[in-house]
Amino acid sequence: MQIRIPQYIGLCWIGVVFITTGCNSTTSIVKPTAPVPTALVDAAQEVQNTFAPDSRVAHFQAYFQPNGTRWVLKGETNLPAAKSALLQNIAQLGIAMIDSLQLLPNITVGEKTWAMANNAVINLRYKPEHAAEMATQVLLGQLVQVLKAENYWYWVQTPDGYLAWVEGGALHRLTESGKKQYEAAPKIVYLRPFGFSFSQPDERSEPVSDLTAGNILIVTGEEGMFFRVNYPDGRMGFVSKTDVMAYDLWQTQTRATSVSLVETARRLMGVPYLWGGTSAKGVDCSGFTKTIYAINGLMLQRDASQQAREGILVDETGNFAKLQPGDLLFFGKKATPNSRERVIHVGMWIGEGRFIHSSSRVQINSMVPEQPDYSAYEHGRYLYSRRMLGHVPGVRLSVPAMSQ
């Protein structure tokens, strides 16, 4: 999956806001009343480059307006350290400043600054509307931080740090104390690619909802071969013990290996391609690799271009003998004197010259011309491979520390 960034990032002159979407920039221009001192522009740009170089996962919008002999710092950020650094830089410049830079979460969300996905999979979008492009997905039971509200939509940050909008009905919102209670409650994680919870401890009873791998539910009891579980919105259901694992055990005992990653990937064969998808219901290329690793207890970043900065480099010449099953292969366009590298696809090595990836559907192709599933197209745009095992963090329920 490639970059689509709707957030505001940065400001160079009064009244000129640069909005970055994908690889293009547009400007919304208001007639300036005074030029912003270059030193202020440089201070804001330095903070942005340091704390929010990737606006998919870090939000920093800062701009300046004149107020008599002083300047007013406006905008918003979800990074307290970025705001502190900017104010310190401005103080060192000796420029009189009124601080109106808003920290997120803002007052529009009240005390309920956390939320849980309320369905097996919920869709997050780049704009607060159903017709907007899908950015990513969050699974049942995962926590997101709620940053601001617009009508019945919420701008949230996901456990992998992604920033996007979600319709309010898909969420169950929580206060800080509610979040802590949820984190402390006994939970199970669903491990089958697809399935259901039921209204009775009997798979012939009426389903409560569908489930997919990675879903998390609070356990409230046991009946025979079923766990009794609670949904975030208060629904109750029963889940077969054979389909789940205690969440604490899964976190502490799951050990991702080359074998387990390949086994997981093959269980998703044929799952359709879905732009923005990160679940067994539908995946884009990076959503597929992210899902494989997540089921095995490891957290990858959301997009291919982000994953391409994780792990360690194992090959950049096409020497596939260096690869181990589970290594990620990145595809795209190499850098030239006039353009930067573009990572636009990712797959996972499974051995014997083959890799598995989401392209139209989850499928296997080969890098060996003599093999029947050889893909000359993918071979031709291969960039390099990176190893994630031993080099990426474990799955977490809530957002990363960088935003807190």
What the chain holds in terms of domains, given with CATH numbers, is 8-103 (3.30.1340.30), 108-182 (2.30.30.40), 194-252 (2.30.30.40), 258-387 (3.90.1720.10)
pLDDT of residue 9: 33
Q: Please say if the pLDDT value at position 378 is more than 80.
A: yes
Residue 4 has pLDDT above 90, yes or no: no
Q: At 104, which amino acid appears? A: L
Calculate the CA dihedral of residues 25, 384, 338, 59 and round it to 10 degrees: 20
Token pair, residue 29, equals 């221009």
109 alpha-carbon distance from chain centroid: 21
Q: What is the pLDDT of residue 69?
A: 85
Q: pLDDT by residue (tens digit) across 315-352?
A: 999 999 999 999 999 999 999 999 999 999 999 999 99
pLDDT tens track for 284-313: 999 999 999 999 999 999 999 999 999 999
Instruction: Give the separation between CA 133 and CA 130, rounded to whole angstroms.
Output: 8
CB atoms within 10 A of CB 273: 18
Beta strands in 30-119 (DSSP E): 60-67, 70-77, 97-99, 102-103, 114-117
pTM as predicted: 0.89
Q: pLDDT at position 399, please?
A: 86
Catalytic site positions: 285, 345, 357
Q: What is the pLDDT of residues 207-224, one digit of tens each?
A: 999 999 999 999 999 999
Could you give the CA distance from residue 296 to residue 257 in angstroms, rounded to a whole number? 8
Task: Quote the pLDDT of residue 10.
Answer: 36
| Nearest C-alpha neighbor of 52 from the set 148, 205, 157 | 157
Query: Is residue 259 a contact partner of residue 326, using CB atoms and an 8 Å limit?
Result: no
Gyration radius (Cα) of the chain, Å: 23
Q: Rounded mean pLDDT of 111-130? A: 97
CA distances from 173 to 113, 142, 162, 273 (A): 7, 12, 18, 30
- Tell me, what's the pLDDT at 350? 98
Task: Find out whether 164 and 136 touch, Cβ atoms under 8 Å.
Answer: yes
CA distances from 175 to 179, 185, 398 (A): 6, 15, 13
Crossing angle of helices 80-93 and 38-51, rounded to 10°: 150
Q: Say what the pLDDT of residue 401 is.
A: 62
